[in-house]
Amino acid sequence: MSEIYYPHKELFENPAFKNMCEYEDLVKEFEKDYEGTWAKLANEKISWFAPFKKVLDESNAPFYKWFTEGKLNVAYQCIDRHLKDKKNKAAIIWEGDNGEKRIITYLELHREVNRFANLLKSLGVKKGDRVVIYMPMIPEAAFAMLACARIGAIHSVVFGGFSAEALKDRILDAEAKIVITADGAFRKGKPYMLKPVVDKALEGVDCVEKVVVVERNNEEIEWVEGRDVSYNDLIVNQDNECPFEIMDSEDPLFLLYTSGSTGKPKGVEHHQAGYILWAQLTMEWVFDIKNNDTFWCTADIGWITGHTYIVYGPLAAGATTLMFEGVLTYPDAGRAWKMIEEYKVNQFYTAPTAIRLLHKIGADEPKKYDLTSLRILGTVGEPIDPAAWKWYYDVVGNGRCSIVDTWWQTETGGHMISPLPAATPIKPGSATFPLPGIFAEIIDENGNKMPPNEKGLLCITKPWPSMIRTIWGDPERFVSSYFGTAKKDGKPVYFSGDGAIYDEDGYIWITGRVDDVINVSGHRLGTAEIEAAIQKHPHVAEVAVVGKPDEITGESIFAYIVLKSNENLGEDVELMKEINEIIAKEIGNIAKVKDFAFVPGLPKTRSGKIMRRILRAIAKGEEIKQDTSTLEDPSVVEKIIEIVKSCQI
Residues within the interface to ligand PRX (CB under 6 A): 258, 304-305, 380-383, 405-410, 431, 496-498, 510, 512-513, 519, 524
Comparing CB distances to ligand PRX, the nearer of 75 and 354 is 354
3-state secondary structure of 50: strand
Closest CB to ligand PRX among residues 182, 510: 510
Residue sitting closest to ligand PRX (CB): 410
CB-wise, 143 or 295, nearer to ligand PRX?
295
**Comparison of 231 and 472: residue with beta carbon closer to ligand PRX:** 472
Strand pairing category for 101-105 and 347-350: unpaired
DSSP3 helix / strand / coil % (the chain, rounded to 5): 35, 25, 40
Is residue 379 within a helix (H) or strand (E), and if so which, with residue range? strand 376-380
How far apart CA 72 and CA 42 sit, in angstroms, is 11
Q: Give the shortest CB-8-to-ligand PRX separation in angstroms.
A: 22
3-state SS of 503-566 is: CCCCCEEEEEECCCEEEECCEEEEHHHHHHHHCCCCCEEEEEEEEEEECCCEEEEEEEEEECCC
Nearer to ligand PRX, 24 or 385 (CB): 385
Q: Which residues pair with 434 in a beta bridge?
A: 417
Is residue 211 within 8 A of residue 131, CB to CB? The reply is no
The CB-of-494 to ligand PRX minimum distance in angstroms stands at: 12
Q: CB-based contacts of 425: which residues, under 8 Å, 6+ apart?
A: 4, 5, 6, 7, 20
Smallest gap, in angstroms, from Cβ of residue 224 to ligand PRX?
33
Q: Within 10 A of 449 (CB to CB), how many other CB atoms are there?
A: 12
* Cβ-based nearer residue to ligand PRX, 202 or 417: 417
Q: Kindly state the smallest distance separating residue 591's Cβ from ligand PRX, in Å.
A: 13
Query: Minimal distance in Å, beta carbon 500 to ligand PRX?
Result: 9
Q: Is the dihedral of CA 633, 638, 642, 645 positive or negative?
A: positive
Q: 331 preceded by cis ω (within 30°)? A: yes
Is residue 216 within 8 A of residue 182, CB to CB? The reply is yes
Nearer to ligand PRX, 381 or 434 (CB): 381
The distance of closest approach from Cβ of residue 239 to ligand PRX in the complex, given in angstroms and rounded to an integer, is 37
CA 208 to chain centre: 26
Of 420 and 431, nearer to ligand PRX (C-beta) is 431
Q: Find the shortest distance in angstroms from Cβ 181 to ligand PRX.
A: 22
Nearest-approach distance from CB 76 to ligand PRX, in angstroms? 26
The span from the CA of 560 to the CA of 615, in Å, is 8
Decide: 90 and 78 in contact? Cβ < 8 Å.
Answer: no
Nearer to ligand PRX, 410 or 580 (CB): 410
Q: How far apart are CA 227 and CA 221, in angstroms?
A: 14
